[in-house]
Amino acid sequence: MADKVIPIHSAARPAPPAPRYDGAQRAGTAEGPLADTLGRTMRDLRISVTDRCNFRCVYCMPREVFDADYKFLPHAALLSFEEIVRLAGVFVGLGVKKIRLTGGEPLLRKGLPTLIEMLAPLGADLTLTTNGSTLVKHARALRDAGLNRLTVSLDSLDEATFRAMNDADFPVEKVLDGISAAANAGFSPVKINMVVKRGVNDHQIVDAARHWRTEGRGRGHILRFIEYMDVGSTNGWRMDDVIPSAEVLRRIAEAFPLEQAEANYSGEVAERWRYRDGAGEIGVISSVTQAFCRDCNRMRLSTEGSLFTCLFAQQGHDLKSLLRGGATDEDIRDRIAAVWRLRDDRYSEVRSAQTEEMRAKQRKVEMSYIGG
């Protein structure tokens, strides 16, 4: 069945037809793990379960674009739970070890614990990233359904800064209550992601480290600082707004001495650092200043079933038509394998060589569509 390419904008060029891999070239043979053109093997799958969110964070879904008139996907366009599970099973058969559910805000997808229950028997490490706004309500159900780990996005502990960044007039206390509920439900550690933007919340770096290292002594929570990235084409990204991870580490180390820790596994996104006094650890995610494309092992599945090989992709590959067109699991496996084998993405490595004008012309997929 011919592949259908999903363009992100009208000027996007369709991808060339991908070859079908048969016989000894099939994934899972004695040849070893499925590898792309740069020798990277597939390990992680990120699944966006909704393109909707109740926040309008300035770096992801700015209100001037995602306003009251913005047309989100109709429910019929979304992959069903059964379709998601079927695809996830194929990915696990191709070597995926971790599945992360994202959005939008994934907890806005009705019945999400049911999806987790359906995914759990696949044996992959099940994780979820949320803004934490409804965690108090859902934490226990998520854990009981089989969710292994949880990440909460929280860009500031300061009330005014947090409300300004989420642009939804949502109080920080409710997210903190959600994190406590998650810990009480058995999620340990909870990872907290803080996107740092110059002039907005960078003055709160040390305060955040101080808070979560205190909380982490008993709970084991891990704070991770993320460089402000040029995801999508609507967040007005400028290099001048980026606080390099090296600067983040320097500021924290002046207050709380640090030492580097080993990665948990090859291709781990966050670089790990421990407090020398034993009060836990932090992480930094440096896709702007210290690109980690060479180790990238992630595939991304959009809400409506398009496959993306990079967070900064300009086009996707339609799997929904295969699902709903009578394709067998083997057909779908071969299509995914073909896409991965042709994968050569390394946007973060080449970004620095591009001019601002060149970057502005690239219409990249929005993060709210394929998840972070």
The neighbour count for residue 71, using CB atoms within 10 Å, is: 5
Band of residue 358 on the pLDDT scale cut at 50, 70, 90: low
Rounded to two decimals, what is the model's pTM? 0.85
The arithmetic mean of pLDDT across residues 147-164, rounded, is 97
100: β partners? 46, 127
Helix (H) or strand (E) run with residue 149 in it: strand 149-153
CA triplet 309, 311, 316: central angle to 5 degrees?
A: 45
pLDDT attached to residue 352: 62
Alpha-carbon gap, residue 135 to 131, rounded angstroms: 8
pLDDT tens-digit readout, 47-62: 999 999 999 988 888 8
CB atoms within 10 A of CB 16: 9
Q: Tell me the pLDDT tens digit for each residue of 317-349.
A: 999 999 999 999 999 999 999 999 999 887 666
Give the model's pLDDT for residue 267: 75
Mean pLDDT for the stretch of residues 129-155: 97
Q: How far apart are alpha carbons 87 and 127 in whole angstroms? A: 17
Please give the helix or strand (H or E) that residue 194 lies within, else none.
strand 190-196
- Give the count of beta carbons closer than 10 Å to the beta carbon of residue 11: 9
Amino acid at position 75, single letter: H
| 13 vs 356, more confident | 356
Question: Hey, what long-range contacts does 347-350 have (CB within 8 A, 24 or more apart)?
Answer: 347/293, 347/310, 347/311, 347/312, 348/287, 348/288, 348/291, 348/292, 348/293, 348/312, 349/291, 349/293, 349/294
> What are the structural domains of the chain?
4-10+34-370 (3.20.20.70)
Token reading at 366: 């929005």
Rounded Cα distance between 348 and 287, Å, is: 6
CA-to-CA distance for 245 and 229, rounded, in angstroms?
A: 12
Residue 319 · residue 290 · CB < 8 Å? no
